[in-house]
Amino acid sequence: MRFITMDIKKCVVCRNCEYACSFQHTGDFNRADSNIRVAYHDDIKICLPQTCMHCEDAWCMEICPAAAITKNEETGAVEIDSGRCAGCKMCILACPFGNIHFDKSNLISRKCNLCKGEPQCVAACISGALQYVTAGDSCRNNREIFQRFMATLHTPL
Amino acid sequence: MEKKQHYKSMCRMCNNHCGINVYVENGRVVNITGLKEHRWNHGRLCVKGRLGVDLVNAPDRLKKPLKRVGSQWQEIDLEQAYDEIAEKIKKIQQTWGNRAMGIWKGEAVGFLTQEELARRFAHAIGSPNYFSNDSQCYVGRWIGYALVSGTWAEPDFANAKCTVIWGSNPPYAHPNMTQSILQGRENGGRLIVIDVRLSAMARQADDFIQILPGTDGALALGLARQLIRDDLISHEFIKGYTHGFDAYADHAKAFTPERVEKETGIPAERVVDIARKIGNARPKVCIYAGNGLEHHENGINNVRAIACLDGLLGSLDEEGGNFIPEKIPLRSLTLYDEKPLRHLGPIGADKFPVLYDFRQECHTMSAMDTILTQKPYPLKGMVLTGANPALTNPNSRKVIQALKALDLFVVRELFMTETAELAHYVLPAATYLEHSELHTYPVCQSIGISPEIVTFPECDYDYMFWKKLAHRLGASHYFPWEDENELNQWILKDTGITVETLFDHPEGFKYKSRHFQKYKKEKFNTPSGKFEFVSDYLKGHGYSHVPEYIAPTYMSDPNPEYPYVLVTGARKLFYCHGRNRNFKRCRTAIPHGEIEMHPHDARQLGVDTGDVVTVTSSVGSVDIPVTVVPHSHILPGVTQITHGWKESNVNLITHDDRNDPIDGFPLMKSVEVKIKPKRQEDGE
Ligand code: SF4
Ligand code: SF4
């Protein structure tokens, strides 16, 4: 099972991911409809893309009184069934990361569903900041980067 | 229902040519995604790439040939249109001479061959007047680098220990280049961004150097001085393979960090610091110069000064530096050897011989004057394909006036652009999804081909368009190939690669693996055969032989009437030059043009984001809404407007006649302007 990783040392806040997500779900390029949100903190020059982590024990899923939120067996995505969602916004309150937003036109909650296993934000990320990988891959990748970094600190005798 | 068909091709929504999957259902393109195996983009595709679906299916696409009758458009049969156009071309050439016809190539519809086909056609009908947007974009950098090293080398970002992105914003300009830049950084490389604006690229920079527009040459010379002084240079390269080091070093000497600070606005200690960082990473230093360096009065020499750094550092043709790609022996379609026409006086070649010598480009800015004044000779007809100079050339008012004055103006286009509106005939063009063309990727040393995926009956592709006209003009022997498949085979003939092989390699067929330091065996493609810190060729033309620095006019001779300096042409997501403004979805995201302004300037003018201001230069005025950007994004006194907006066309105020003396590039990026809030009562 894979999830979306975000590398803040690569994101350039170009917003391709946000628009690709909006397009996938609405057919328009409207950032407000995107499930991935990219924040840019100008003062400290931090680029921070953020999207659902599809928690194993998901707070949103736990709390949803309409049982509209389920885990997709195939992709591992935590998904909202828009037919069941009552628009009570409990999930929005419950998610500690703010990864669920409210769709004002349809009066229901919206979140990332991993696009059936082909997340469009990742496909549109031109910097490589977003990757769709397994937890194992992600950890291996980070380890390699860290080891390379350590290697640069070492000056040969 | 028909099954979905899947094709693999290349994107042409910008100049990156990313690999794409194209899905077709019932004869209609329904989706475009990134091609995983492609060498350039590795499956990633910017949102512009997906917009190819909007492009090919656009409801406002031109599908019928149109002829102007009075103030109306009338549909006309395609072959009839070709007949009439050919007749008119003949008449113009008989009356005014062959050179009275111009051919103008845009870049909107094709890949590699579109340019050579247009060049071929011009010469086939006996005119030296081939034009393209290149005389004001790209070629300035190409010539700057070629003067020094014989070519413009390709950046090997992924292996660089230090990358310098200078006057370019890859995330919007060359999206998937961002991947390799940041790969280099992940591999431990440092990223330095030198720019007027804190661009998207600059957000990830280890060092962001904010520079005053058009002063880059002073910084480059200042860096050179530091590198030489601190002995952070490659003696082996300089000694063995370069020309004119002493004169250049002598010239650079004057550019002390203090002087650089005065010229560029960059604190002296940062100049020292950056020089050390670059020098310590040598030779794996990858300096990439962007379009921000063109469009200045001293553009070419600024680029030359930057190009010279590669020689100092020994980073040219190095892994992790700027490497010189090896070419694939494709057959050329141009007729410059077979049928040279320089004696006919290509427009602009008298004033800007370097532009013609290096690129055989005529000068589009001079073309407008030629049309209007008939000097040095009449230019009466123009056939233009896939370009929109009414919006993208400087001084739009003059451009429109000139194009309207033509006896024959033919535009081949996808949409009724501002330029097409001025034409006598508008012919519908085929998009990049509707024909088969070759394209090379020098940085990957690979070559690809696009398949014909869908077609529309009257939308001829490039080759067919030129062939049909040539056949009516007695130039059929120059266009003997039945169709573009035959043409592609002919172009590939000497490579030993077949069209079939290319279709089997949608990832890009690698024609050769990379080799470095080829200069050890072969000469540089310069007059001396060496890397030229100084150019005797330029000297022969009466220019300075060293990359001299001349400060932009707004610095050297400030005019209190125009207290702001305006940069134009920064790239935006969704838009490529003048394109894509007709797609509704893009307008949802970025609805209109804007002038980017520092909060301090906005306060002084008493305006806020959304307020409309009138921006005036000595050329004209334009009304445009303000966007106040964060403090760090732009320097006070500096403003930016992106081109391509019909409603707020910045080229109404850019200069066509203040040119870089060497290549003739127009002044569009350090324009002196005044800004006035547009009050309600002033407006209509
Ligand atoms: S597409 Fe990638 S680089 Fe661009 S904003 Fe999203 S995460 Fe950042
Ligand atoms: S960067 Fe975007 S527009 Fe340019 S070729 Fe790639 S997908 Fe197409």
Quote the CATH superfamily of domain B154-323+518-540. Dimethylsulfoxide Reductase, domain 2 (3.40.228.10)
Distance CA B535, CA B148 (A): 7
Output the six-digit token pair for B370: 């030629």
pLDDT at A142: 85
Looking at residue A76, its amino acid is G
d(CA A125, CA B176): 9
> Which among B447, B388, B396, B434 is positioned nearest to B412, based on CA atoms?
B388
User: Which tokens go with B238?
Assistant: 């300089």
> What tens-digit pLDDT sequence spans chain A (157 residues)?
899 999 999 999 999 999 999 999 999 999 999 999 999 998 888 999 999 999 999 999 999 999 999 999 999 999 999 999 999 999 999 999 999 999 999 999 999 999 999 999 999 999 999 999 999 999 998 888 888 778 877 765 5
Predicted confidence (pLDDT) per residue in B484-500, tens digit: 999 999 999 999 999 99
Helix axes B113-124, B484-492, angle to 10 degrees: 100
Note whether B44 contacts A: Cβ–Cβ < 8 A: yes
CA distance B575 to B13: 9
DSSP three-state, residue B123: helix
Distance A49 CA to ligand 1 centre (A): 7
B305-361 residue pLDDT tens: 999 999 999 999 999 999 999 999 999 999 999 999 999 999 999 999 999 999 999
| Alpha carbon nearest to ligand 1 atom 4, residue | A14
Q: What is the dihedral of CA B268, B269, B270, B275, to 10 degrees?
A: 90
CATH no., domain B557-682: 2.40.40.20
Q: Is the peptide bond before B376 cis (omega within 30 degrees of 0)?
A: yes
> From the CA of A23, how many Å to the nearest CA of chain B?
9
8 Å CB contact between B274 and B209 = yes
B204, A11: Cβ pair inside 8 Å? yes
Residue to probe by mutation, ligand 2, list B20, B176, B432, most atoms within 8 Å of CB: B176
Kindly state the percentage of chain B with pLDDT values over 90: 98
State the DSSP code for B429. B
Determine whether the interchain pair A20/B47 forms a contact, defined as Cβ–Cβ distance below 8 Å: yes
Tally Cβ neighbours within 10 Å of residue A73: 8
Q: Residue B415's Cα: distance from chain center in Å? A: 21
| Inter-residue contact B201 to B165 (CB < 8 Å) | yes
Residue B681 — pLDDT band, cuts 50, 70, 90? low
Distance from CA of B590 to the nearest CA of A (A): 9
Q: Which CATH architecture has domain B66-131+329-435+456-477?
A: 3-Layer(aba) Sandwich (3.40)
CB-based contacts of B80, cutoff 8 Å, min separation 6: none
The residue count of chain A comes to 157
What local confidence, expressed as pLDDT, does residue A85 receive?
Answer: 97
What are the backbone angles phi and psi of residue B345, rounded to the nearest 5°?
A: 75, 65
Residues B12, B32: contact at Cβ < 8 Å?
Answer: no
Q: What is the DSSP letter of B23?
A: E
Rounded to an integer, the average pLDDT of B516-526 is 97
Q: Does B574 touch chain A (CB under 8 A)?
A: yes
Contact B179 A23 (CB under 8 A): no
Q: What is the pLDDT of residue B108?
A: 76
The matching CATH number, chosen from 3.30.360.10, 3.40.50.1820, 1.20.120.430, 2.20.25.90, for B5-57 is 2.20.25.90
- The confidence score (pLDDT) of residue B684 equals 46
pLDDT tens per residue across span B90-147:
999 999 999 999 999 998 778 889 999 999 999 999 999 999 999 999 999 999 999 9
Using a CB–CB cut-off of 8 Å, the residues of A that contact B are: 9-16, 19-20, 23, 27-31, 40, 42, 45, 47, 123-129, 145, 148-149, 152
B660: nearest Cα among B526, B538, B576: B538
Identify all chain A residues contacting B182, using CB atoms and an 8 Å cutoff: 9-10, 127-129
pLDDT of the residue at B179: 97
The per-residue b/e assignment along B172-211, b for 16 or more CB within 10 angstroms, e otherwise, is bbbbbbbbbbbbbbbbebbbbbbbbbbbbbbbbbebbbbb
- With a 6 A CB cut-off, is B277 part of the ligand 2 pocket? no
Between B45, B573, B588, which is nearest A15 by CB?
B573
The overall longest dimension of chain B from CA atoms, in Å, is 74
The 3-state secondary structure of B131-156 reads EEHHHHCCHHHHHHHHHHHCCCCEEC
Q: Per-residue pLDDT averaged across B434-456, rounded?
A: 96
Q: Check if the interface score ipTM surpasses 0.90.
A: yes
What are the sequence ranges of the domains in chain B? Answer: 5-57, 66-131+329-435+456-477, 154-323+518-540, 557-682
Nearest CA to CA, how far is A40 from chain B (Å)?
9
Chain A residue closest to B590 (CA)? A29
Range of the domain at A19: 2-153
Ligand 2 pocket check for B35: Cβ under 6 Å: no
Question: Can you give the pLDDT at residue B582?
Answer: 95
CA B594, CA B616: separation in Å to the nearest integer?
15
Task: Identify the pLDDT of residue B250.
Answer: 98
Secondary structure element (H or E) that encloses residue B555, with its range: helix B553-556
Nearest-Cα residue of chain A relative to residue B48: A16
pLDDT (tens digit per residue) in B399-431: 999 999 999 999 999 999 999 999 999 999 999
Predicted confidence at residue B680, as pLDDT, reads 64
Read off the pLDDT band of B228 (50, 70, 90).
very high
Burial of B370 (0-12, 13-18, 19+ CB in 10 A): buried
Ligand 1 center–CA B577 separation, angstroms = 22
Q: Can you tell me the distance from the alpha carbon of B566 to that of B650, in angstroms, rounded to the nearest whole number?
A: 10
What's the CATH code of the domain at A93? 3.30.70.20
Q: What's the DSSP call for residue B497?
A: -
Q: Which atom of ligand 1 has the smallest separation from the CA of A13? A: 5
The two three-digit tokens of residue B512, written as one number: 């050769």
Q: What is the domain count for chain A?
A: 1
In our burial notation (b when 16+ CB lie closer than 10 A, e otherwise), range B479-517 reads beeeebeebbeebbeeeebebeebeebbbbbebeebebb
Give me the phi and psi of B216, to 5 degrees please: -60, -30
Asked if pLDDT for residue B683 goes beyond 60, the answer is: no
Asked whether residue B44 carries a pLDDT value surpassing 50, the answer given is yes
Considering every ligand atom shown, identify the ligand nearest to the alpha carbon of residue B179 and give its number.
1
Percent of the residues in chain B that have a pLDDT greater than 70, as a whole number: 99
How far off is chain B from A143, nearest CA to CA, in Å? 12
Q: What is the pLDDT of residue B679?
A: 77
Query: ∠ CA B117-B118-B120 to the nearest 5 degrees?
Result: 65
